[in-house]
Structures are given as C-alpha cells and as structure tokens.
Structure 1
Amino acid sequence: MKYQWILFDADETLFHFDAFAGLQLMFSRFNQQFERQHYQDYQNTNLALWDAYQAGQINAQQLQEQRFTHWANKLAVPAQHLNQAFLEAMADICKLLPGAKDLLDSLKDKVKLGIITNGFTALQQIRLERTGLSGYFQTLVISEQVGVAKPAKAIFEHAFEQMQQPNRQQVLMVGDNPHSDIQGGINAGIDTCWLNREQQPLPQGIQPKHQVASLQELQHWLHQPH
C-alpha cells in the first residue's frame, strides 16, 4: 500500500452526524418541542460560528456556548449546560457511516490510522468507545484540545509530532469537507481524498489528490496497486 498513515475526519466521514435528530432528542429531555424551523434558525447561527471557529476568530468554548444563547435565555438554562446535553444526545444516537467498519478492518493491520477532527472532545471519545473503534487509531487529534482547527497547518503539525514525523508523501487525509479537510491536508503537504457522497462540485481553488463517492469506493481504491 502506498500510504503508511491514513488520517480521517470524524463527522460525516466515519460517523453519521444527524444534528437535527440530536437536537430533537436533547430538547425532548427539557420537555421542549424542536421543529424543523427551529433547526433552520439554529443552523443560521451555528454555521456562521463554525466558519469563525475554523478561521481562528473564536475558540471552541465560545462556539459551543454562543450557538445555544437563544435557547439558554428561553429556557433559563446555562448555554454550557445545553451544549453538554446536546453532545450527550449526539453520543446516544451515534452511528457509523456505511462501510466504515469494513474499511477500517481492512486497513488496521496494513497501515497506521488516525483521526483529526474539529469536533469536540466529549463527543469524540465516547463515540469511539460505543462503536468499538477505540483500538483502531494510533492518534486522535481534536481541535478543542489543540487550540486550533482545520484547515490550519498547525493542527496537522501537532498530529505529525504524535506520529513521530512520518514521511509526508506516505500520509493521506480523508474527509468530507473540502474547506477544512482537503484544504487542511494540502496546507500540510500531504495527499488528500475527498469523500464526496453528494457529488458536489469542487470548490474553486481546492484540488484533492483523489475523490470517492463512498467508503466502499475508498476501500477499493486504497487496496489497488498504486
């Protein structure tokens, strides 16, 4: 196999991330209805905060609290408490994407595996445990702990330190987000593979080394002679 290390994003690359279902479950525990329009309002705030976070303009704690400010005021509950309840709900409904387990099983004895995620520590650790994947990864790098998010080169440099400075020509970054995962890998000087399950057009100026539409396709490609 061409690569010695394969690094994965977490949300929507290995794990299905159904935020609407998670929010519905979380708010039901506060005896509160959460409808699709509520979700649209939440996402208007949340997506702008994620853009600011990935640009280094706010930190992880600010993102997690500010996205729940409206509901915190409405329910008279601290925003931090709502965020924790949301992460717990997301852990309760966590599922692997189709093909994730087979892919990792096919790779674990052939290459070293890692995760670099902009997600949050409380959710990442528990999902790995509940899905039985804790022992698969030699490195787990979470932006909340590092203090910088993809696509910044610094989070990849942090990972490379944990990985004992591998040959970057033998490292592949796999992710669903071209702006954070693919651009981040390019910034770090490693090969990239875009998991483009919805067949979206490539954003201008971002060119992954490879593209796949599913984890099954990724598995086939990785096991081909290169």
Structure 2
Amino acid sequence: MKYDWILFDADETLFHFDSFKGIQLMFARKGVNFTAQDFETYQQVNKPLWIDYQNGDITAAQLKHTRFNAWAQKLGTTTADLNSSFLQAMADICTLLPGAQELMASLVGKAQVGIITNGFTELQTIRLQRTGMDQYIKHVIISEEVGVAKPDQGIFAHALKRIGNPEKSRVLIVGDNLHSDILGGLNFGIETCWLNHHGAEPVESIKPHYSVTSLSELQTILHA
C-alpha cells in the first residue's frame, strides 16, 4: 500500500453528524419542542462561530459558550450544561457512514489509522467505543486539546509527531471539508482525498490528490 498512515476527519467522513436531529433530541429531553425554524436561528449563530474557530479567532470554549448562550438564558441553565447534553445526544444518535466499517477492516495490517478532528473531546471517545471504531483507530488528534484547529498547519504538525514522524509522502488525509481538511493537508505537504458524498461543487484553487463520493470508492483506490 502507498500509505503507512491514513488520517481521517471524523464528522461526515467516518460518522454521520446530524446536528438538527441531535439538538432536537437534546431539547426534547429538556421538555422543549425545538423546531426547524429554531435550528435555522441557531445555525445563524453557530456557523460563523465555526469559521472563526477554524481561523483561530476564537477558542473552543468561546464557541461552546456563545452558540448556546441565548438558550441557556431562556431555560435558566448554563451553556456548559447545554453543550454537554448536546454532545451526549449526538453520541446517542451516532451512526457510521456507509462503508466505514469495511474500509477500516480492510486496512488492518496494511496501514495505520488516525483521526484528526475539529470536533470536541467529549464526543470522540464514546462515539468510537459505541461504533466499534476504537479497535481500528491508533490516535485521535482533537483541535480542542491541541489548541489550534484545521486548517492551521500546527494541528497537522502535532498529528505527524504523534504518529511517529513518518515520511509525509506516506501519509494521506481524508475529509469532507475542502478548506479545513484538504487545503490544510495540501499546505502541510501531505496527500489528500476529498470525500464529496454531498455532491458539493469543487473549488478551482483547491486540488485534492483524489476525489471520491463514498468510502467504498476510497477503499478501491487504496487497494489498487
């Protein structure tokens, strides 16, 4: 196999991340009927925060606090409680993307596997255990713990060190986000695979080494 290490993004690369379904479940457990309109309003706050986080303008703690601040005040609780409840709900509804289990099993003994994610620590371990992915994943690199988020080269440098400083040419990053995963990987000098399972439009200035629409397609390429 061409690669010794394959580093995967987590959300929407290995795991489904249906934040509307998760946040609905979280609020339902608190006796609140959270509507599609509520979610749209929440996303108007949440989405720009993630961009700021990826750009290094705010911390993970600031993102977590700000996105739920209005709801915490409304419900008379804390943003920490809402974040924890949300991540618990996301863990409860977590499922793997099609082909994830088969891809991981096919890599055993051929390449080692890690995760590099901008998602939050609280969700990662429980999700890996519940889906059985923990048996395949050697390292989980989490931006919240490293202190910088993808696409910052710092998190890729940290990941490379964690996995034993292999030759960059022997490492592949796989992700669904052209900017944080693919541009981040390209700028760091490792090969990239864009998992475009949502049929997004390519960006002229970002050229991944591979583009696939499914994990099974990636499996075929890796074993070719």
Instruction: Please classify the TM superposition score into its range, dividing by the shorter chain length.
Output: over 0.9
Tell me the CA shift for residue 108 of structure 1: 2.0
Tell me the CA shift for residue 198 of structure 1: 1.9
Matched, 1:30 2:39: no
Query: What one-letter code is carried by the residue in structure 2 that aligns with 1:203?
Result: V
Q: Deviations over 1:14-70 (max 9, x none)?
A: 000000010010001110000000010111111000000000000001101110011
Between 1:117-126 and 1:196-205, the stretch displaced more is: 196-205
Counterparts of 1:39 and 1:82, CA distance in 2? 15
Q: What is the match of residue 20 of structure 1? A: 20
Q: What is the match of residue 161 of structure 1? A: 161
SS at match of 1:15: coil
Counterparts of 1:120 and 1:204, CA distance in 2? 30
Q: How many residues are matched? A: 224
Given the two structures, how large is their TM-score scaled by the length of structure 2? 0.98
Given the two structures, how large is their TM-score scaled by the length of structure 1? 0.98
Q: Deviations over 1:119-162 (max 9, x none)?
A: 00000111001111112112110000000000000001001111
Q: What is the match of residue 70 of structure 2? A: 70
Q: What is the match of residue 139 of structure 2? A: 139
Query: What one-letter code is carried by the residue in structure 2 that aligns with 1:173?
Result: I
Matches within 5 A, 1:93-112: 93-112=93-112
Counterparts of 2:134 and 2:103, CA distance in 1? 15
Q: Deviations over 1:67-97 (max 9, x none)?
A: 0011011111111110110000000111000
Tell me the CA shift for residue 204 of structure 1: 3.4
Query: What one-letter code is carried by the residue in structure 1 that aligns with 2:105?
Result: D
Matched, 1:46 2:46: yes
Q: What is the match of residue 197 of structure 1? A: 197
Query: What one-letter code is carried by the residue in structure 2 that aligns with 1:195?
Result: L
SS at match of 2:119: coil
Query: What one-letter code is carried by the residue in structure 2 that aligns with 1:94?
Result: C
Q: What is the match of residue 182 of structure 1? A: 182
Query: What one-letter code is carried by the residue in structure 2 that aligns with 1:168?
Result: K
Please list every run of 5 or more consecutive structure 1 residues that lacks an aligned counterpart in the other structure: none
Counterparts of 2:169 and 2:74, CA distance in 1? 51
Give me the identity figure in percent: 55
Query: What one-letter code is carried by the residue in structure 1 that aligns with 2:175?
Result: G
Counterparts of 1:137 and 1:95, CA distance in 2? 16
Tell me the CA shift for residue 200 of structure 1: 1.4
Tell me the CA shift for residue 107 of structure 1: 0.6
Q: Deviations over 1:158-199 (max 9, x none)?
A: 011111110000100000000100011112100000000122
SS at match of 1:165: coil
Q: What is the match of residue 123 of structure 1? A: 123
Matches within 5 A, 1:79-94: 79-94=79-94
SS at match of 2:87: helix
Counterparts of 1:8 and 1:46, CA distance in 2? 23
Moved over 6 A (4+): none
